[in-house]
């Protein structure tokens, strides 16, 4: 392959990261049926472009606060795959020593601070982090990934209001997949764009196609520049769609909460295919190179999966550890 300009190299990186997350989560779904993973899993298959596009716009020292559906955020922010899978298997080599599971991933060296399953509870933590950055005159931005269900919680509005009053460098990134578990958005909220919520708080609000990683990256860079220049928080809304069940490795259209036609419409806008078509059209990658890339990633996943399976469980003698401040596992 000839030398690439910055834009072309970035396109290839975006494609590789989306592919990486897709293959990791497909492997999790495949191994989950072995009944060795010791926690529920919430997969991001179909939503990868939002995580990758946002995190590509961040520095290592920028801080991410995630949700129950955190695998993509963790990996896009540079989190260690072996420690992530070991955590899902409940092993002591996991990123939380096997005590947290799939919904509590962290890699502080990469700025992946925490993921929390309680809806919207990560939001005030991100705002507090942004307040600290503001007090310290730091150039770091904090990011709260949220879903469309989080904006229905009071803490969202309280946090946005506080961030706007104090002009804090925080991004509220809403991955609007249009369902809160099995309840559609139009059954929970009035008919209006979610972006109106940001405008109601008089904060800068940006929207983009959540399945187009380039569009996500573009508006996130604009948001980061705004937040880091002392102009205050930004509310970003990206429409996207999860393919698998709310919680678990399977498909669940058969239970009737969404139509098969709706699912197929969104699946036809696969974020991986969108970015892949772009790089193929620009002749940045060949079919053989895609096959080689998939093979390389799958080999890395196999090694990480075996590491997780082979790692020991936490010792029963350690049950009283990590309760007090004297010792930390992260």
Instruction: Give the CATH number for residue 211.
Output: 3.40.50.970
> Which two three-digit tokens encode residue 272?
């991986």
pLDDT digits 0-9 by tens, 294-310: 999 999 999 999 999 99
Half-sphere exposure of 11 (CA within 13 A, CB side): 18
Q: Which residue has better confidence, 73 or 6?
A: 73
Report, as an integer, the average pLDDT of 258-277: 97
Question: Residue 297 to residues 45, 116, 155: CA-CA distances in angstroms?
Answer: 16, 28, 39
Q: Please report whether residue 254 resides in a domain.
A: no
Q: What is the pLDDT of residue 322?
A: 75
Convert the pLDDT of each residue in 4-57 to its tens digit.
666 999 999 999 999 999 999 999 999 999 999 989 999 999 999 999 999 999
Q: Are 240 and 176 in contact (CB under 8 A)?
A: yes
Question: Cβ distance 188 to 263 under 8 Å?
Answer: no
Q: How far apart are CA 252 and CA 181, in angstroms?
A: 11
Residue 164 neighbours by CB distance under 10 Å = 18
260 within some domain: no
pLDDT in the model for residue 330: 54
Is 231 a domain residue? yes
Residue 329 falls within a domain, yes or no?
no
Per-residue pLDDT for 311 more than 90?
yes
In a domain, 33, yes or no: yes
Q: Is residue 330 assigned to a domain?
A: no
Note the pLDDT tens digit of each residue in 154-176.
Answer: 999 999 999 999 999 999 999 99
Whether 317 is in a domain gets the answer no
- Res. 1 pLDDT band, cuts 50 70 90: very low
Average pLDDT, the chain: 95
Res. 327 pLDDT band, cuts 50 70 90: low
Would residue 75 count as lying in a domain? yes
Q: Span 87-105, mean pLDDT?
A: 96
What's the predicted TM-score (pTM) here?
A: 0.95
Give me the domain span that covers residue 26: 6-243+270-311
Structural domains of the chain, count: 1
Tell me which residue has tokens 């578990």: 181
Contact yes or no for 87/119 (Cβ under 8 A): no
Residues 6+ apart with CB under 8 A from 228: 139, 141, 169
Q: Mapping DSSP to helix (H, G, I), strand (E, B) and coil, where does residue 41 land?
A: coil
Tell me the average pLDDT across 216-226.
98
């Amino acid at each position: 392959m000839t030398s690439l300009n910055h834009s072309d190299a970035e396109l290839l990186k975006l494609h590789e990261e989306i592919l990486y997350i897709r293959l990791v989560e497909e492997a999790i779904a495949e191994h989950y049926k072995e009944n060795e993973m010791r926690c529920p899993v919430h997969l991001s298959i179909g939503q990868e472009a939002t995580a990758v596009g946002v995190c590509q716009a961040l520095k290592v020292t920028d801080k991410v606060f995630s949700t129950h559906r955190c695998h993509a955020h963790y990996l896009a922010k540079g989190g260690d795959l072996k420690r992530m899978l070991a955590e899902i298997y409940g092993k002591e080599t996991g990123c939380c020593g096997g005590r947290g599971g799939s919904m509590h991933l962290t890699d502080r060296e990469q700025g992946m601070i925490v993921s929390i399953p309680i809806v919207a509870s990560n939001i005030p933590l991100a705002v507090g982090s942004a307040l600290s950055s503001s007090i310290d005159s730091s150039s770091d931005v904090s990011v709260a990934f949220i879903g469309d269900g989080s904006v229905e919680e009071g803490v969202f509005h309280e946090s946005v209001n506080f961030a706007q009053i104090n002009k804090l460098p925080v991004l509220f990134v809403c991955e609007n997949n249009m369902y809160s578990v099995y309840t559609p958005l139009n059954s929970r909220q009035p008919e209006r764009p979610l972006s109106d919520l940001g405008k109601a708080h008089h904060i800068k609000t940006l929207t983009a196609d959540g399945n187009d990683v380039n569009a996500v990256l573009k508006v996130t860079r604009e948001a980061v520049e705004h937040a880091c220049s002392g102009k205050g928080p930004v509310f970003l809304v990206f429409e996207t769609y999860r393919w698998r069940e709310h919680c678990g490795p399977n498909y669940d259209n058969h239970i009737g909460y969404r139509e098969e036609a709706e699912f197929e419409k969104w699946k036809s806008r696969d974020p991986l295919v969108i970015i892949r078509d772009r790089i193929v059209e620009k002749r940045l990658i060949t079919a053989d190179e895609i096959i080689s890339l998939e093979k390389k990633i799958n080999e890395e996943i196999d090694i990480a999966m075996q590491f997780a399976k082979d790692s020991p469980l936490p010792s029963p003698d350690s049950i009283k550890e990590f309760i007090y401040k004297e010792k930390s596992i992260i």
